[in-house]
Amino acid sequence: MKITVLAFLVFALASLAGAQQFTAADRTAAEAAMKQVRPQGIRAHMRFLSDDLLEGRGTGTPGYQIAAKYVASEMEAMGLEPAGMNGTWFQPVKFRGAKLVSDQSSLVVVRDGKEQPLKEGVDFETSGSETSTDETVDAPVVFVGYGVSAPERHYDDYAGVDVRGKIIVTLHGAPASFPSTERAYYSDGIVKAANAVAHGAVGLLAMLSPEDAKRYPWQWIVPQIRSGSLRWLDEKGNPHDVFPQLRAGGLLSQTGAEALFAGAPKTLDQVFAAANASQPQAFPLAVSAKQHTVSQHEEVESPNIVGVLRGSDPKLRDQYVVYTAHVDHLGRCHPVEGDDICHGAYDNGSGTAALLEVARAFTTLPRPPRRSILFAFVTGEEKGLLGSDYFANHPTVPREDIVANVNIDGAPGLLYPLKDIVALGVEHSSLSGDVQQAAKMIGYQISPDPMPEEVFFIRSDQYSFVRQGIPAVDVTDGLQSSDPKLNGEKIVKTWMTTLYHTPKDNMNQPFYYDSAAQGSRLNFLIGYDVAEQAQAPVWNRGDFFAEKFAHGSGASAGK
């Protein structure tokens, strides 16, 4: 949809109360800047980033370092300033990696004094421990539903049970009765682990519902977990967001769950039915468990890549709108049809490519936006949003000066031409108005999260900023295609179950680059609008995430 100069003026002035007036040249330049988001540019960046040479861009690998230097070179060529550490483009992040030593580790179920060893890779899987190379726990087992305590929802899976000194078993996810983003929050493994520790648990085993198992088959999950885990290290060399009190952990398969639930007060079918009905539930199982976990540790370093376009307003240029996209992928992975490279063309070569094109659009403006625009290409997303979490905790600019985050994880519209978008998390802050204006300009409808069970809100880098109290949005594909011949819902769900995190996420897929460019222009408009406004975004007053996290930054709750 062509954006006229007059329409752009209406768009801009609708949300710029108190802002400086644009000149006709500014308006024309902004429209021209959007055209700098080129379909062929997105394709070219993706082609390089997903090439075999980069070996899947695994965090800390030589392939990732090549990708990082490519991104930095592109930013330098377009005239951005480095905004990493010590005047460079890079913010180094140190990690501790942990991998399970399988032949020295074990998980044993004990019932009536009889031991039943579970088989790693068949009955359970674990990635090892980041806090210890050798740990053992022997304790009774208690099932605690989803493992969720949500007082504002009058929901507590721990009610009526004592799990002190016990190993708990939880279901993946959170109650479907919760609003989408709150469901995602309570599904977060960090939130669940912290809650388990607060209740005195010494171990946490998880299991999948039958519905989850259909979306994420066991044979797909095992290689993901076996690849190991990472945690970023603080100034003292300690891993962040770890829970040494939990000395047992892992994911149970269906057979593993059956072994633990034999003789339990409820059958697994009854447990799943209660969970589907969003009913709190907890009860001791008729077993104890012994887990011995031997882990191999290594230290890895991998950089975030950061550039900045300085703002033009003397009063606002020290505030920042931060764009993010993750550069990393899985590296070498479980082979499919002889290919053992997880190329990550869509995830997230496309998001990195789209952000490079958005950055190029900003640099063509003859007058930069009033606020500064920071472009953070982050590492370690596939290992748990680690690079963005490190940046949000240790930003290269004052954290209180970051007013918003716009994240790109998968270029919107690349899989099919879009009729609608989903703006994850936008309903919690005044960013809603910016997204609505931008979507109207491009011609997109805005739909609610159509797949809340996937908890996408906590699965990409904008959530790292939310956790630090910074309003954020991640625009993803809606399920309606503007091409009536294409079924958006079928395309997304097929992609998630057949291509996601496999070597088949490569450049041989049917991609729609013109549509991706249009979706990227939407992200340009969102950030441009925020950067031009006199007032910084605010959380909605009384909002769930405002109450949880808004203390973390200068963002306040609005009226």
Give residue-wise pLDDT tens across range 125-135.
999 999 999 99
> Do 469 and 334 reside in the same domain of the chain?
yes
In a domain, 37, yes or no: yes
> What kind and span of H or E run contains 108?
strand 106-111
Mean predicted confidence (pLDDT) in 93-111: 97
> Do 237 and 340 reside in the same domain of the chain?
no
Mean predicted confidence (pLDDT) in 128-152: 97
> Do 52 and 187 reside in the same domain of the chain?
no
> Do 292 and 314 reside in the same domain of the chain?
no
End position of a domain, from candidates 298, 330, 353: 298
The confidence band for 67, taking pLDDT boundaries of 50, 70 and 90, is: very high
Mean predicted confidence (pLDDT) in 50-78: 98
Residue 21: is its pLDDT beyond 70? no
The confidence band for 26, taking pLDDT boundaries of 50, 70 and 90, is: low
In a domain, 559, yes or no: no
Q: Which two tokens stand for residue 215?
A: 């979306």
The CATH number that applies at residue 386 is 3.40.630.10
Supply the pLDDT for residue 194: 98
Residue 17: is its pLDDT beyond 50? no
End position of a domain, from candidates 248, 265, 298: 298
Give residue-wise pLDDT tens across range 312-355.
999 999 999 999 999 999 999 999 999 999 999 999 999 999 99
CB 454 within 8 A of CB 216: no
Supply the pLDDT for residue 15: 39
Supply the pLDDT for residue 551: 62
What are the distances in angstroms from CA 369 to CA 4, 32, 470? 20, 14, 20
> Do 390 and 467 reside in the same domain of the chain?
yes
In a domain, 88, yes or no: no
Average pLDDT, the chain: 93
The CATH number that applies at residue 222 is 3.50.30.30
Mean predicted confidence (pLDDT) in 153-159: 97
In a domain, 82, yes or no: no
pLDDT over 90, % of the chain: 92
Residue 453: is its pLDDT beyond 80? yes
> Do 324 and 269 reside in the same domain of the chain?
no
End position of a domain, from candidates 298, 324, 349: 298
> Do 423 and 517 reside in the same domain of the chain?
yes
Residue 441: is its pLDDT beyond 60? yes
> Do 347 and 229 reside in the same domain of the chain?
no
CB 321 within 8 A of CB 371: yes
> Do 115 and 65 reside in the same domain of the chain?
no
Residue 7: is its pLDDT beyond 50? no
> Do 383 and 473 reside in the same domain of the chain?
yes
Mean predicted confidence (pLDDT) in 474-499: 97
Residue 554: is its pLDDT beyond 50? no
pLDDT over 70, % of the chain: 94
Give residue-wise pLDDT tens across range 395-424.
999 999 999 999 999 999 999 999 999 999
Supply the pLDDT for residue 30: 74
> Do 502 and 364 reside in the same domain of the chain?
yes
Strand partners, 250: 205
* Amino acid letter for position 207: M
Residue 39: is its pLDDT beyond 90? yes
Per-residue DSSP letters for 174-209? --TTS-HHHHHHHH-HHHHHHHHHHTT-SEEEEE--
The domain total for the chain is 2
Residue 234: is its pLDDT beyond 70? yes
* Amino acid letter for position 298: E
In a domain, 497, yes or no: yes
> Do 427 and 455 reside in the same domain of the chain?
yes
Supply the pLDDT for residue 27: 63
Supply the pLDDT for residue 558: 54
11 is in which domain, residue-wise?
5-77+310-552
Q: Model's pTM, two decimal places? A: 0.94
The confidence band for 518, taking pLDDT boundaries of 50, 70 and 90, is: very high
